[in-house]
Chains A and B, each alone.
Chain A
Amino acid sequence: MARSRRVLIVDPSIDSREVIRTALERQGVAVFEADSARRGDELMRRCHPDLVVVDGEIDGYSAGDSCAAWDTAGDIPRVVLGRIKGAATGDRQLSKPYQYSQLIRTIGELLGTHSGAQRPAA
């Protein structure tokens, strides 16, 4: 494996980011966090994530102004938490309140690193 998988989380909730980070890092995924749309744009350009998790309540995102910045024409999968305007059909949407186990499983499927399948038998 050339480099570890990268996930960008754009979510205003510090709790939520911490939970997702902890769960993903445990699987060897590198996690980048943004608490705003502006910061999300920045990290999007710098970190070249393999997958983006976007919370629907992120400032500026639901208004649509930053949506284009990480509308990656389908080459980077997105998981959208809650509802946002301008969600692409390819996006995976989880409505709130969602279960974290389901979110982590979805991320795993999209990254092709489904932890349940890869976990070595004890």
Chain B
Amino acid sequence: MPSLFVIRGNDQGARVEVDATPFSLGRDTDASFQLHDTEVSRRHAEIRRAGGSYLLVDTDSSNGTFANGHRVVQHTLNSGDQLQLGGTVLLYTQPAESSATRRLLNVNIIGQAEPVDGSRIVSSISHEEGSRIFAAGQLTPWLARARNNLQVVYDTALAVSHTLDIDELLRRILQLVFDSVDVDRGCVMLIDADTGRLEPKAYLDRADSPGGETIRISQTILDYVLETREGVLTSNAVEDDRWDSAASILQLGVREAICVPMQGRYDVVGAIYIDTTTPAADAIRRPGVTRLGDDHLKLLIAIAHQAALAVEDTRYYSAMVQAERLAAVGQTIATLSHHIKNILQGVRGGSYLIELGLTDHDEEIIRKGWDIVEKNQTKISNLVLDMLTFSKEREPDLQETRLNETIADVVELMQTRAADLEVRLTWSPDESIPMLILDPDGVHRAVLNLVTNALDACDSVDDPLVEVATRWCPDDGVVHIIVADNGVGMSSDEVERMFTIFVSKKGGRGTGLGLPVTHKIVHEHGGRLDVETEPGQGSRFVIELPATLPTGITQPHTTAASPQADSRPFSLDELADLESLHGDDAGEFDADTGPGSDFPEDE
């Protein structure tokens, strides 16, 4: 059965079998193979069966279908073709045999004492020599072609191997062997780190394989391969014409096998074994014809070497990920404990003042203490909300929102803090912003974090000023929320690290959660966060959100009704219509608190 392997694109590493035709490729969820690529059309192309071959047919895609670099409308597929749809590149493989269904089977490693099937080594090639096929050299056409295909798939396999577990990786490698070499059965064995013995990890065979369901591999041959680090080609056929006298051939046919070491950077990590069986009748008809040769042996040595590198990489990577994860958990706990400890310290301070005030009957001290308690209560609530926002994979809770009200709410909430810090906080809404579909709580949080940072940033400058504004950009179908300050600004190093969780340039005042949370919320809205800043020159953050209008029109310039659809997607009348359409909903929002308030309690 032909298969497709994604070499490049969002689906990189995905492999799919063309199990039924027509086989559709596209962005649609019900395509036979869904490609997650915005440049791919919903129904981009199809693979159709035409007699004994397969055809690639472009189904009126917007960006065209390419085979081996040429744009095609229809193309007869050959194994090894590279197909490009949008930004996605796929490798097409079609095994020589059509009946290539594979299933799992058993592997037995036969001890030295047991009789084997009369196989002996007919050829052996060292690991070093075998690996040379990836260097330029004189190759037979078959080997050259196989090498080229393999190179592509290797690069991909190595690129994706970091995300895979080893068993999945081995399964793919074996699949790769089956796609390249006409063999009946194969297995990959890895050396168990504890016992030092080879353990079968992945096995495949073709459904109609005459070899039987159990692979029997001679321990003698395995030992030879592991000790000498040579790949071997074995056969139970004898060299001279007396082959028919070998009893095992009459029973089993001619079995040719290749067994190669998986030589990694330092050690042999395992072995790959493949075999083919020619039924006795065929073997008798064509004596001396072999199905496996030195080319196959060389290729398999090279595959095994790459596989060993990938196994090593995956092992190192797993160990590293594990270590990093533990370190990250430790750091998270340490950082959160630290913040909570500081907040607790604040609460204790407030309580202590209240206690003093009560002892002295001094209401002013009680008030001071209470303010501190309240301030720390806000801090812990912000910390918890930021933690929740950051930790959860959440979809924005989209609803009709008057963006200006949400932002006005943030500004109002922060005025007290601005006054404490003696920072001027101004607010200039763009009144032409229509009702938008947004997550008001999310946007509130995102902007709150920016304003908090802006206020802290201009703590120690002359005439400190924080400006908050909104801007409606109907031509681009986006809305901007701008938070600018004339504070300390950031160096390029600091800009680079600003979205790194728990990295705060505010020392004890910052949690290092604010900007990562803002970034996450903006990203969840499909928007972007830009910053212009220089040390000493202040910072200007711009949140750009795609303007989704309540009518379900995602891109305003798709409205056909507008007479100047290209330059001005909405006339003021149309905007007014949109507003009035949703006038009922608008009544639900209280003008004072707005829809996005995290702190709905009355002041």
Contact = CB atoms under 8 A, between A and B. Distances in A.
A97 B345 contact: yes
B356 A15 contact: no
Contacts of B360: 26
B509 interface: yes
B345 A96 contact: yes
B344 interface: yes
Contacts of A97: 341, 344-345, 348
B41 interface: no
A12 interface: yes
Interface in A2-54: 12-13, 15-16, 18-19, 22-23, 26
Interface in B319-344: 341-342, 344
A15 B352 contact: no
Given A26-B356, A26-B360, A96-B341, A15 B349 contact: yes
A23 B356 contact: yes
Contact of A19 (B341, B344, B353): B353
A19 B350 contact: yes
Interface stretch (B368-376, B461-469, B558-566): B368-376
Given A13-B345, A15-B375, A18-B368, A57 B352 contact: no
Contacts of B345: 13, 15-16, 96-98
A22 B368 CA distance: 9
A99 interface: yes
Contact of A16 (B346, B356, B368): B346
Interface string A80-110: 0000000000000000111111000000000
Contact of B348 (A12, A23, A100): A100
B353 A22 contact: yes
Contacts of B365: 22, 26
A16 B353 CA distance: 11
Nearest to A100: B352
B552 interface: no
B3 to A, nearest CB: 59
B507 interface: yes
A59 B505 CA distance: 11
Interface string B506-523: 011100000000000000
Given A26-B360, A98-B345, A12 B352 contact: no
A12 B507 CA distance: 9
A80 to B, nearest CB: 15
Contacts of A23: 352-353, 356
B352 A19 contact: yes
Contact of B346 (A15, A22, A59): A15
A118 B372 CA distance: 29
A13 B375 contact: no
Given A15-B350, A19-B353, A22-B356, 20 more contacts: A12-B507, A12-B509, A13-B345, A16-B345, A18-B349, A18-B372, A19-B369, A22-B353, A23-B353, A26-B356, A26-B365, A57-B507, A57-B508, A59-B507, A96-B341, A96-B342, A97-B341, A97-B344, A98-B345, A100-B352
11 contacts: A12-B508, A12-B509, A15-B372, A16-B346, A18-B349, A18-B368, A19-B349, A19-B350, A19-B352, A57-B508, A96-B341
Interface of A: 12-13, 15-16, 18-19, 22-23, 26, 57, 59, 96-101
